[in-house]
Amino acid sequence: MQRIEIEYGDDKMPVDLPDSALVVRPGVTYVDPPAVDPVDATRRALASPLGMKPIRELVGPGSRVVIAFPDRVKGGMHDRTHRKTCIPIILEELRAAGVRERDIRLLCAVGLHRKNTRDELNQYLPKALVDEFWGDRLGTHDAEDPDGILDLGVDSMGNRVEVNREIAEADLAILIGHTQGNPYGGYSGGYKMLVTGLTTWRSIRCHHTPDSLYRPDFVPTTTHSHFRDQLDSIGRTIEERVGKRFFAVDAVVDTQAQVLGVYAGAIDEVQRESWKLADRRTNVHLDTEKADVLVFGMPRTFHYGPGMGTNPVLVYQAIGATLSRVLGAFRSGGVVICASLCDGWFNDEWFPSYREVHGLFQRCATPEELVPYEDEISTRPEYIRKFREEYAYHPFHAFSMLYMGGISWRHASAVYIPGAKDPGLARGMGFIPTRTFDEAMRAAEQRVGRSPRVLALPEYLLRVPAHLWADRG
């Protein structure tokens, strides 16, 4: 037997696995491509952009420029992150072109996430930059601002197209993104940054929905899906109808959010080129057969924030998202064992609509049955007020997370939650609570047979995850 530790709330859970279990660890099982100097890489990308002229040739005195950047959820917090290094360089380019300081605005592209506080902005942007722009020149996309949203109708696929008015009306909109493995459409950045970060719930509901997520082309996680086609279609439609192309500056990042490469220019060309390096970093091929049992643990706090590992809807989402990332190395019908406190702390301040949506789910046989409730909950004045004024997630966010969670029961025969403090909450999400990990493993063997192939992922949810593939079928 081999002993490893997996995440369990604020602590670790020691678990014993058979010697044959494959334990995947970054830097051991696989090695990321080498990191680059992000400053040098950004300067080179801006000097030779793909499909567009350099920034200095696109603007001049009197030009109004908006620089949009992702929120705290992705991209890392260390000193050499993409946001911290590239925004000051972009500002140098704008100033060299004669753009006035008062005509440059920074915009946090939160989408339906909660607005970030000044202290949070200081964590992932240079503090001097926050101090300089704070006030009228540093804003946050507000998906519920009636004066701040431009309705562009529907695209050729029938998707609703609504977008932030500031970026639509700017002389140049610069979108900073991370080409980072993502269960929704393969990668962040590119058109995904625009279409999920700077639109509305009415637009996002078109793709973050069972009709897109439960199609067979959605998993294993891929850029070749109806979902990804929707992102690209909405993004291109925005550019076509506002009559201008947006300038993307995307970085491929590794397990620790170190920059591996920077690409700038037209969004479609940046996607095409950045995905080549991202594929090398993100898609990890294992010399093994597909696993019968997937093992990992859930911390209390990870990318969506405190309570993600205890709020039952977000536990559901994290299991579905993890499974979608590793389904290339996990056999359909296998068993998932995920250690989670599952103690019922929803963190209502950050996620106010989640408790109600969770209650509605208890009346439903499948996630699809939640769709008729979307309009009522997503327009509730109290939830909208908290989203706009109290740093809370948008009410529709709960639906989109729960829909992703539904992937788990489509591809796993059972999901066991060892250590669940509130077993009833685990059962309410379709999971099977157990008191111990050993109990969960014994139950898994009854389903898949003795001596199962086990795939274990310690710290998987604490890093920029890789997407796993078994090369032996």
Q: Where would I find the H helices in 161-204? A: 165-169, 190-197, 201-204
**H/E run at residue 440:** helix 437-448
Going by the DSSP 8-state scheme, the letter that residue 461 receives in this structure is G
- For the stretch 328-337, pLDDT in tens is 999 999 999 9
Residue 41 has pLDDT above 80, yes or no: yes
Q: Are 271 and 191 in contact (CB under 8 A)?
A: yes
Asked if pLDDT for residue 473 goes beyond 70, the answer is no
pTM score, whole prediction: 0.96
* Domains of the chain with CATH codes: 2-31+287-470 (3.90.226.30), 38-282 (3.40.50.11440)
What residues contact 376, with CB distance under 8 A and at least 6 apart?
Answer: none
Please state, in angstroms and rounded to a whole number, the distance separating the CA atoms of residues 184 and 200: 17
Per 3-state DSSP, the chain is made up of helix, strand and coil in percentages (nearest 5) of 40, 25, 35
Per-residue pLDDT, averaged over 7-29, amounts to 96
Return the axis-axis angle of helices 354-361 and 312-326, rounded to nearest 10°.
70
Q: Using an 8 Å Cβ cutoff, are 255 and 32 in contact? A: yes
Amino acid at 318: A
Q: How many CB atoms lie within 10 A of CB 36?
A: 17
- Chain segment 110-122, per-residue pLDDT in tens: 999 999 999 999 9
Model confidence pLDDT, tens digit, residues 277-308: 999 999 999 999 999 999 999 999 999 999 99
- For residue 1, name the pLDDT band (cuts at 50, 70, 90): confident
Q: Which amino acid is at 347?
A: N
Rounded Cα distance, 159 and 346, in Å? 32
* 80-95 tens-digit pLDDT: 999 999 999 999 999 9
Residue 401 CB-half CA count within 13 A: 27
Residue 64 pLDDT exceeds 80: yes
